[in-house]
Amino acid sequence: MGKIKITRLSSATLVETIVALVIILVLFAITATVLMQTTATSFSVKKLKAVQLIDRFADETEKDKSFFSDDKIEGLFTLQKRVEENDFKKKVLVVKFLVVDNNGKLVSYQNRIFRE
């Protein structure tokens, strides 16, 4: 009678399977972290652009001595300038600069003090 050839099938052990799962979970966590940072960075870039617009608008206001309330559309943002007189000193103005996006959401603001 002939011999029956028995072959063993190679398979992964439980330890190898757990190691593979841990590697997959670590890669997933890294991907999720990078995705979250990218989303946060895009918001930071939007806020940074808004702050730069406020700085430029404030410099123009001081240079032109245009101390009156005004709105200005600049790309995706609306710059709002609100001028208030100081109650204590008449020659001092408080100017509020606001940057609002197209959805009407406040992106950034600054209060500056100017002398007339």
Q: Are 48 and 97 in contact (CB under 8 A)?
A: no
What pLDDT score was predicted for residue 91? 76
The answer as to whether 1 is a domain residue is: no
The answer as to whether 24 is a domain residue is: yes
The answer as to whether 56 is a domain residue is: yes
What pLDDT score was predicted for residue 99? 93
State the total domains in the chain: 1
The answer as to whether 109 is a domain residue is: yes
Q: Which residues of 83-107 are buried (b: 16+ CB within 10 A; e: fewer)?
A: eeeeeeeeeebebebbbbeeeeeeb
Which is more confident, 90 or 46?
Answer: 46
For the segment 24-80, what is each residue's pLDDT rounded down to a tens digit?
999 999 999 988 887 776 667 888 888 899 999 889 888 888 888 889 888 889 999
Which range marks the domain in which residue 93 is found?
14-115
What pLDDT score was predicted for residue 10? 77
The answer as to whether 4 is a domain residue is: no
The answer as to whether 5 is a domain residue is: no
Single-letter residue type at 19? V
In angstroms, the CA 65 to CA 71 distance is: 16
